[in-house]
Chain A
Amino acid sequence: MAGLKLKNIMGKIAGFFTAASRSGLLWPVIFFGLILLVNALINPGFFDIEIKDGRLSGSLIDIMNRSSYIILLAIGMTFVVATAGIDISVGAVVAISAAVSAYLIGGTLVVENGVQQYVSFMPMPVAIIAALLIATALGMWNGLLISRMGLQPIIATLILMVAGRGIAQLITSGQIITIYYKPFFFIGGGYLFGIPFSIYIVAAVLAVVMFLKKRTALGLFIQSVGINKTATRFAGINSSNIILWVYAFSGFCAGIVGLLVCSNNKSADGNNAGYNMELDAILAVVLGGTSLAGGKFYIMGSVIGGLIIQSLTTTIFSIKEIKPEANLVVKAVIVFVVCLIQSESFRKKVAGVIFLREKKSL
């Protein structure tokens, strides 16, 4: 009996430790904390947030604002990766969404009765909805190729990645469309209650996603598709449709980012909008602890992954001794370090699985 009790206590301690590392948030949070700490040591005013012209300003707000693109893409990407897929077309979808919204809004400065007025080509809501719909449809195209035609995710999305920028260029006729319609600038560059509006968008998407994950079985379904698609189908879950909608959602997220990019830059550039964003998004997901092999996924991990990437960039730009070109090298080093640490923890995870079995048998 006593032995069993001791085993129980030991088990609880071990369980706590494995739970902390298995929650997937341990390493990302430690890394994010480390980067913030380095920043605080270099720049004592790093954590200061002050109000300027009714807007909150400070390094932290800046990081959160700038990381909104990566975080939104990473949220969509997390589900895709959880189904053992990958979506390398998001950057191109961002470019298309930006091109569509810029094309539909356009905008000219008109003087009516001596008053300057901004007139859009189409009403703004129409343009926004059209851009999001097209982005979602492109995601569905990916999903259809993968779930119905049986193409590999990386190839199916490669097709859209290669074609996407061409399509964006065709929409903008190979030129950079500039927007002169002021209300549209609010989406990507506006402030609401002193906080950048893009942070609200991220929060809203995150809230919906977390609700779906925690309160419905959808998260479990997605996870099970990632672990074994065939077994999931035999269990009576429509794997194909889950895959389809996961890619559609990833496209939708890319659509939102396209609107943000377009609104923030006040223009749409088919060549450079969203360039290489897919890589950052995938990186954020991996840094967040989700394995590219699919299965268990960590949405908050991806969010923190996005914050890590952005804060890293901000840090490098703020340290004068480091050339901005070093950004990529530092990023590469972080990728390797984080991946290696996660690889080392592989054994711990195995131990955790064995322990769980023991617990069940008790």
Chain B
Amino acid sequence: MNIKNIPILSCITGGKGGNSSGSMFNFKYLLLAATIALFIIMFGIGSVSFRGFFSLKVFFDLFIDNPFLFIAAIGMTFVIITGGIDLSVGSVAALTTMITGTLVEIHGISPAVVLPFVLLVGSLIGFLIGIMVHFFKIQPFIATLGGMFLARGIALMINTDSITLNNSFFKAVSNYHIPVIGNAFITINVVIILIVVIAAIILAHYTNFGRTVYAIGGNEQSAILMGLPVGRTKILVYTISGFCSALAGVTMMFYMPSGNPLHGVGMEMDVIAAVVIGGTMLTGGSGYMLGTVFGVLILGTIATLINFQGGSVNPWWIRIINAALILVFCLLQILFEKKGRKIAKS
């Protein structure tokens, strides 16, 4: 099956990833297809096994309960496609909630001022990390690890306790439901996710910036020799990830109106897992934003399935199943890549 022949899918996924012959693309699409198929199968299993699982409400809840994962994972996908990694996402999100909580609740500043400010702070942290990665050649792992410590440390220094957001704006946003069909509804967060995903797809697949991102991941030296703006793009990618992390923090507050310095502990690993399950290669150079969306949906479905089981299944199985999925998808990636290379050779 060639998804490229299906007009809608091909327009969503674009076709700018990678750099070699058409046959390579098919294998890459195959991986994306595998991710989507897995999601459909898992949702199908749930629908068959549990009464009330197959509903729009359960499907929308996957978005409503994990908005931060979606948004952080989109930012992370850009970073990973360039061959980097960002460990700071959870801490930056926590810092965002703490700054907002302090400024809004204690200093009484309007959220209309505070929210743009925290998004700027997140972007700035990402920007600084990008500068270190590009200009000082510090490995992304270490630079973002430093960013992680820094953001979490500042969040803890602001206040070690959680701050409840009593501001009417946050209450109103978190309680605001947009009715869709029947009794199913979505929240503001879901709208934010949609906007971010669409923007990311356009940015990754239909702009020069996006093409440069893929080129850097494919081969940075070649990208430099081709005269692409590698440095600028790399710094921008970390800035985008910082922005997305801050936005993830904002959606946390819309989901649960409170600031907590321990929000999002370990979130970076869930985010990386979602990106990998979504078919993005950690070596960089290939991956799809849509895959990442389905990666998060799969993680969400696993958690929902375990919840539907009630007390009969140990919740720790979630982690083990997640790990198994990452393993399967990585092995699939390797398999497809090898086959793709063989076909490209012949």
Q: Do A and B come from the same complex?
A: yes
Q: Chain A residues in contact with chain B, CB under 8 A?
A: 86, 145, 149-152, 154-156, 158-163, 165-167, 169-170, 174, 279, 282-283, 286, 292-293, 323, 325-333, 335-336, 339-340, 343, 346
B6-14, B138-146, B166-174, B287-295 - the one binding chain A: B138-146
Q: A343 to B138, Cβ gap below 8 A?
A: yes
CA distance A330 to B149 in the complex (A): 9
Give chain A residues whose Cβ lies under 8 Å from the Cβ of B282.
152, 154-155
Interface-facing stretch out of B19-27, B104-112, B154-162, B241-249: B154-162
Max chain A C-beta neighbours (<10 A), residue from B145, B148, B318: B145
A-B contact count (CB 8 A): 117
12 A-B residue pairs with CB within 8 Å: A149-B334, A151-B334, A158-B273, A159-B326, A161-B269, A279-B145, A286-B142, A292-B139, A328-B156, A329-B150, A339-B138, A339-B142
Chain B residues numbered 119-145 whose CB sits less than 8 Å from any CB in chain A: 132, 136-139, 141-143, 145
Alpha-carbon separation in the docked complex, A339 to B327 (Å): 32
Instruction: Determine whether the beta carbon of A325 is less than 8 Å from that of B136.
Output: no
Given contacts A170-B314, A282-B141, A336-B146, 12 further A-B pairs with CB under 8 A are: A145-B327, A149-B334, A169-B316, A174-B316, A283-B142, A283-B145, A326-B157, A329-B149, A329-B157, A331-B153, A339-B132, A340-B132
B298 at the interface (CB under 8 A from A): no
Q: How long is the Cα–Cα vector from A161 to B85 in the complex, in angstroms? A: 16
Chain B nearest Cβ from A224, distance in angstroms = 21
State whether A332 and B334 are in contact (beta carbons under 8 Å apart), knowing that A282-B141, A339-B136 are contacts in the complex: no
**A151 to B, closest residue via Cβ:** B330
- Residue in chain A with minimal CB distance to B85: A154
The 5 closest A-B pairs by CB, nearest first: A328-B153, A163-B323, A166-B319, A329-B153, A332-B150
Name the CB-closest residue of B to A292: B139
CB <8 Å contact, A328 and B142: no
CA distance A155 to B283 in the complex (A): 10
Q: Which residues of A contact B330 (CB under 8 A)?
A: 151-152, 155-156, 159
- Residue of A160, A282, A286, A328 ringed by the most chain B CB atoms within 10 A: A328
Q: Contacts of B1 on A, CB cut-off 8 Å?
A: none
B343 at interface by CB-CB < 8 Å: no
Contact partner, B316, options A154, A170, A292, A335, Cβ 8 Å: A170
Shortest beta-carbon distance from A66 to chain B in Å: 19
Contact with A along B92-104 (1 / 0, CB 8 A): 0000000000000
The answer for the CA separation of A286 and B283 in the assembled complex, in Å, is 21
**Cβ of B263 under 8 Å from chain A:** no
Whether, in the assembled complex, B113 has its beta carbon less than 8 Å from a beta carbon of chain A, the answer is no
Which of A156, A163, A282, A293 is in CB contact (< 8 Å) with B324?
A163
State which of A152, A160, A161 has its C-beta within 8 Å of the C-beta of B283.
A152
CB distance from A301 to the nearest CB of B (A): 15
Tell me how far the C-beta of B49 lies from the nearest C-beta in chain A, rounded to whole angstroms: 22
| A151-B330, A163-B319 known; A328+B314 contact, CB < 8 A | no
- Is B319 within 8 A of A162, CB to CB? yes
**Complex: A323 Cα to B153 Cα, angstroms:** 11
The answer to whether A166 touches B145 (Cβ under 8 A) is no
Q: Is B206 engaged at the interface, CB distance under 8 Å to the other chain?
A: no
- B152 part of interface (Cβ distance < 8 Å): yes
B142, A335: Cβ atoms closer than 8 Å = yes
Tell me how far the C-beta of B266 lies from the nearest C-beta in chain A, rounded to whole angstroms: 9
A81 to chain B, nearest CB (A): 10
- B258 CB–A CB distance under 8 Å: no
Closest-by-CB residue of B relative to A285 is: B142
In the complex, chain B residues whose CB is within 8 Å of the CB of A326: 153, 157
- Contact present for B320 and A158 (CB under 8 Å): no
Interface size on B, residues (CB 8 A): 41
Interface status of B50 (Cβ within 8 A of chain A)? no
The distance in angstroms between the C-alpha atoms of A333 and B128, with both chains bound, is 13
The minimal Cβ–Cβ distance linking B211 to chain A, given in whole angstroms, is 24
Inter-chain contacts of A162 with B (CB < 8 A): 269, 273, 319, 322-323, 326
* Cβ-defined contact, A292 with B141, below 8 A: yes
Residue of A nearest to B317 (CB): A166
Task: State in angstroms the CA–CA spacing of A102 and B276 once bound together.
Answer: 34
- Nearest CB of B to A195, in Å: 31
Q: How far is the CB of B7 from chain A (nearest CB, A)?
A: 34
Q: State the Cβ distance, A234 to closest chain B Cβ, in Å.
A: 21
Smallest distance from the beta carbon of A110 to chain B beta carbons, Å? 31
B62 contacts across to A, CB distance below 8 A: none
Question: Once the chains are docked, how many angstroms separate the CA of A346 from the CA of B142?
Answer: 17
Chain B, residue nearest A333 (CB): B150
B147 within 8 Å of A (CB atoms): yes
B194 at the interface (CB under 8 A from A): no
State whether the Cβ of B331 lies closer than 8 Å to any Cβ in chain A.
Answer: yes
Q: Is B272 an interface residue (CB 8 A)?
A: yes
Alpha-carbon gap, A167 to B318, bound state (A): 11
A327 cross-chain contacts in B, Cβ below 8 A: 153
From the candidates A161, A169, A339, name the one contacting B314 in the complex (CB within 8 A).
A169
Tell me whether B138 and A149 are in contact (CB under 8 A): no
Q: Are A158 and B326 in contact (CB under 8 A)?
A: yes
Known contacts A150-B334, A325-B156, A339-B146; is-contact A160 B132 (Cβ 8 Å): no
Cβ of A77 to closest chain B Cβ, rounded Å: 12
Tell me the minimal C-beta distance from B156 to chain A in angstroms: 4
**Bound form: Cα–Cα A166–B266 in Å:** 14
Query: In B276-303, which residues have CB < 8 Å from any A CB?
Result: 276, 282-283
Q: Which residues of A contact B269 (CB under 8 A)?
A: 158, 161-162
- In the complex, which residue of chain B has the Cβ closest to the Cβ of A163? B323
Q: Is the CB of A166 within 8 A of B320?
A: yes
B147 touches A339 (CB 8 A): no
- Which of B145, B152, B160 has a CB less than 8 Å from the CB of A282? B145
Q: Give bound CA distance, A165 to B315, whole Å.
A: 12
CB distance from A222 to the nearest CB of B (A): 19
Given known contacts A151-B334, A162-B322, A279-B145, A325 and B314 CB-to-CB distance under 8 angstroms:
no
Q: Given the complex, which residues of B lie within 8 Å of A145, measured CB to CB?
A: 327
Minimum C-beta distance from B173 to chain A (A):
29
**CB-based contact A332/B319 at 8 Å:** no
